[in-house]
């Protein structure tokens, strides 16, 4: 087995699939575009949903990428040997091209060939979908593995909870998968221990998803007209395997980050289990926060949506940094180590270096001041507590007055074997929202951004809205920072330093309705990035798209690169009405609008 750095593995993976006829596409943003069901890009397939559903990708039917992802459901687990909030997913894609046979052959070659990773085949184990009422047992995948030389006793069939990849949201493409595990050499937990067991003996390193179905809003599974392959290999886990280290935090990817924490704290990473856990939490949270701040749709700390997660990560890192004795305001040094490690490949980190460090400094200053007061308030609260539960009103007071995320209060309470009345906290929070008319969305609802007529119309309206904002407010002032579309409304975030006047809002609304009244045909052209720039199209050219892009044009009104879907004519949109204009975060405004059909 070849040992290599994370940078070497990333490049080797791309090189292998290029040799198999795949085109390299760049990582999409961490902030999903027009998907209300998730806060962040959680998997490599997420940005490619329109193409998995049948839209033509400008780069063809065979693709390979390294997608940056964030999953925050396991934040409390960060600190062990494998959990991370940010991760890189190596992925290769077949959009209606090859299927199970070729996909499995490619995976086997890359993993076991001495030219590539050179892993001992006897250490690899596999799982396949056992079948249920929605889809049959995947004997095809099983037979493909056996044809590669895999011993039958290295393959097990597991149910849908183990070997089925659902859609990124509530609806969308999905199907059975086959997962690849590496035998770590640990003692099995029982006689029944096998691939798929979570005891740690078998480490999942690759997942091949065979997208054969579309999950509908009714919860049924319909065969996809276009069968696709979506594979994912976690870079950190695979590097840990190749380097023979016990944890993803012991790989070269984290070496500089861990070293910066050691220098700041004066402590050794491995001096105790608790110190090691704190090092890992800070390293993970600062890596994730740096990528969020530096993303091409970069966000800033706030009390809602993605900004709330970012704030929680930064403030959790600050808390553990204080416990390690790291001087106040020093976490920018850790962020610099992250940029140094990843900035060459993810150039947005280097480009946005000053912004990252500035936003991090401001958030550190805000929280460190509040934290000291908040901890004193927490200690006072606990000292006078009758029983073992902190009431919801007190927990909300810590949040509202001292900026304590509820999760931080829960952590502090758990360290003292106390509980927190979460229902009471939520009630107090809701009452506060109603009193202040905050109207901030705390959860995303609705189905995956789809190809229905309504969402296509709203998507087109979003393009027209941005064009109107740029005309009324100035193209140099306005840049898209995010969008979110449900079947009921659109939401658009954009850079702008102040609240819009009623006259400006009216002018933007009139611009969109003028385009609708013109009833012009919406056209789509494929062209190179340079051609798109020269044509006057707007978009995130440098980091989101490949060498070719789709440019959607509303003649006389809007020209923008986009993956779709869109209405056929502007006259189909109805009447455009802006319902609200408000602040989203520092320097970012938010508009919510609807289309009304008479």
Q: How far is CA 232 from the centre of its chain?
A: 14
pLDDT confidence bin for 438, thresholds 50/70/90: very low
- CA angle, 147 then 153 then 159, to 5°: 95
Give whole-number Cα distances, 3 to 7, 116, 236, 242, in Å.
12, 11, 13, 5
Q: Give dist(CA 97, CA 70) in Å, integer.
A: 29
Exposure b/e, 2-37, CB count within 10 A at least 16 = b: eebebbebbebbbebbeeeebbebbbbbbbbbbbbb
Please list, in sequence order, all residues whose beta carbon lies within 8 angstroms of the beta carbon of residue 31, skipping any fewer than 6 positions away: 40, 41, 295, 297, 299, 306, 482
Residue 216 burial by Cβ neighbours in a 10 Å radius (0-12, 13-18, 19+): middle
CATH of domain 6-247: 3.30.930.10
From edge to edge, which strands make up the β-sheet containing 575-585?
A: 480-485, 490-495, 588-596, 575-585
Segment 174-218, tens digit of pLDDT: 899 999 999 999 999 998 999 999 888 999 999 999 999 988 877
Tokens coding 494? 């954009």
Tokens coding 352? 């946005």
Pairing of strands 202-215, 164-165: unpaired
Segment 500-558, tens digit of pLDDT: 999 999 999 999 999 999 999 998 888 888 888 888 888 754 444 456 778 899 999 99
Closest CA to 28 of 540, 517, 423: 540
The SS3 assignment for 155 reads strand
219 vs 178 pLDDT, higher one: 178
Q: Give dist(CA 32, CA 48) in Å, integer.
A: 11
Please list, in sequence order, all residues whose beta carbon lies within 8 angstroms of the beta carbon of residue 129, skipping any fewer than 6 positions away: 135, 137, 138, 141, 157, 158, 159, 160, 163, 164, 176, 177, 178
Pairing of strands 62-70, 86-95: antiparallel
Highest-pLDDT range among 4-18, 489-503, 516-530 = 4-18
Please list, in sequence order, all residues whose beta carbon lies within 8 angstroms of the beta carbon of residue 591, skipping any fewer than 6 positions away: 465, 469, 491, 492, 494, 578, 580, 581
Note whether 491 and 594 are within 8 A (CB): no
pLDDT confidence bin for 37, thresholds 50/70/90: low
How many CB atoms lie under 10 A from the CB of residue 332?
17
Segment 234-270, tens digit of pLDDT: 999 999 999 999 899 999 999 999 999 999 999 999 8
Q: Give dist(CA 96, CA 128) in Å, integer.
A: 21
Mean pLDDT (the chain) is 87
The SS3 assignment for 183 reads strand
Q: Give dist(CA 434, CA 159) in Å, integer.
A: 44
Residue 454's pLDDT is 79
Phi, psi of 169 (to 5 degrees): -115, -145
Task: Indicate the DSSP class of residue 323.
Answer: H
Mean pLDDT is lowest, of 55-64, 348-357, 405-414, for: 405-414
Q: Give dist(CA 373, CA 517) in Å, integer.
A: 57
Mean pLDDT is lowest, of 154-158, 369-373, 409-413, for: 369-373
Instruction: Judge whether 6-247 and 453-596 match in fold.
Output: no
Residue 158 burial by Cβ neighbours in a 10 Å radius (0-12, 13-18, 19+): middle
Q: How far is CA 134 from the centre of its chain?
A: 28
Locate the domains of the chain by residue range: 6-247, 251-436, 453-596
- Domain range 453-596, its CATH number among 3.40.50.300, 3.30.980.10, 1.20.120.1200, 3.40.50.9100: 3.30.980.10
Residue 443's pLDDT is 33
Residue 452's pLDDT is 65
Residue 376's pLDDT is 86
pLDDT confidence bin for 487, thresholds 50/70/90: confident
Q: Give dist(CA 98, CA 514) in Å, integer.
A: 46
Upstream peptide bond of 208 is cis (omega within 30 degrees of 0): no
Whether the pTM exceeds 0.85: the reply is no
Note whether 560 and 463 are within 8 A (CB): yes
Closest CA to 408 of 491, 335, 318: 318
Note whether 288 and 347 are within 8 A (CB): no
- Mean pLDDT computed over 131-143: 93
Segment 393-417, tens digit of pLDDT: 899 888 877 777 787 889 889 989 9
């Amino acid at each position: 087995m070849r040992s290599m750095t994370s940078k070497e593995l990333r490049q080797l993976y791309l090189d292998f699939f290029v040799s198999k006829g795949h085109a390299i596409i760049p990582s999409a943003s961490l902030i999903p575009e027009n998907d209300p069901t998730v806060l962040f890009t959680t998997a490599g397939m997420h940005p490619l949903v329109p193409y998995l559903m049948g839209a033509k990708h400008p780069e063809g039917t065979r693709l390979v990428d390294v997608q940056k992802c964030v999953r925050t459901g396991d934040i409390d687990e960060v600190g062990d040997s494998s959990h991370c909030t940010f991760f890189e997913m190596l992925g290769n894609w077949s959009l209606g091209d090859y299927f199970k046979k070729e996909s499995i052959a490619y995976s086997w070659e890359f993993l076991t060939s001495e030219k590539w990773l050179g892993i001992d085949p006897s250490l690899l184990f596999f799982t396949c979908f056992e079948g249920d009422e929605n889809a049959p047992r995947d004997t095809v995948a099983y037979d493909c593995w056996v044809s590669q030389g895999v011993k039958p006793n290295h393959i097990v069939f597991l149910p849908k909870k183990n070997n089925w990849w659902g859609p990124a949201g509530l609806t969308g493409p999905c199907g059975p998968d086959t997962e690849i595990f590496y035998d770590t050499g640990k003692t099995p937990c029982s006689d029944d221990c096998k691939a798929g067991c979570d005891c740690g003996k078998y480490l999942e390193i690759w997942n091949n998803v065979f997208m054969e179905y579309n999950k509908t809003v009714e919860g049924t599974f319909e065969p996809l007209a276009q069968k696709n392959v979506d594979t994912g290999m976690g870079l950190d886990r695979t590097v840990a395997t190749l380097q023979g280290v016990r944890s993803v935090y012991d790989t070269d990817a984290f070496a500089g980050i861990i070293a910066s924490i050691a220098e700041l704290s004066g402590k050794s990473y491995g001096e105790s289990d608790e110190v090691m856990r704190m090092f890992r939490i800070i390293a993970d949270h600062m890596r994730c926060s740096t990528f969020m701040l530096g993303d091409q749709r970069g966000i800033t700390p706030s009390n809602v949506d993605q900004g709330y997660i970012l704030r929680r990560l930064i403030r959790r890192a600050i808390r553990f940094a204080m416990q390690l004795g790291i001087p106040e305001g020093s976490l920018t040094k850790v962020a610099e180590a992250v940029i140094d490690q990843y900035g060459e490949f993810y150039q947005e980190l280097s480009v946005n270096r000053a912004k990252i460090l500035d936003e991090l400094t401001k958030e550190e200053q805000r929280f460190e001041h509040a934290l000291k007061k908040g901890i004193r308030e927490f200690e006072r609260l606990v000292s006078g507590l009758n029983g073992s539960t902190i009431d919801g009103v007190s927990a909300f007071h810590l949040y509202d007055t001292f900026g304590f995320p509820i999760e931080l209060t829960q952590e502090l309470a758990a360290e003292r074997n106390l509980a927190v009345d979460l229902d009471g906290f939520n009630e107090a929070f809701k009452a506060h929202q109603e009193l202040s008319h905050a109207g901030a969305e705390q959860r995303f609802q609705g189905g995956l951004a789809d190809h229905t007529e309504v969402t296509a119309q709203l998507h087109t309206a979003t393009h027209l809205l941005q064009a109107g904002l740029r005309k009324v407010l100035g193209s140099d002032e306005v840049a898209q920072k995010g969008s979110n579309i449900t079947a009921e409304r659109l939401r658009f975030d954009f850079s702008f330093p102040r609240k819009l006047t009623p006259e400006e809002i009216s002018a933007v609304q009139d611009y969109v309705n003028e385009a609708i009244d013109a009833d012009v045909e919406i056209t789509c052209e494929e062209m190179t990035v340079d051609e798109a720039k020269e044509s006057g199209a707007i978009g995130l050219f440098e980091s989101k798209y490949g060498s070719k892009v789709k440019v959607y044009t509303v003649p006389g009104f809007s020209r923008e690169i986009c993956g779709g879907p869109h209405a056929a004519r502007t006259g189909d949109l109805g009447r455009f009405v802006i319902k609200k204009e408000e602040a989203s975060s520092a320097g970012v405004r938010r508009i919510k609008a609807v289309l009304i059909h008479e």
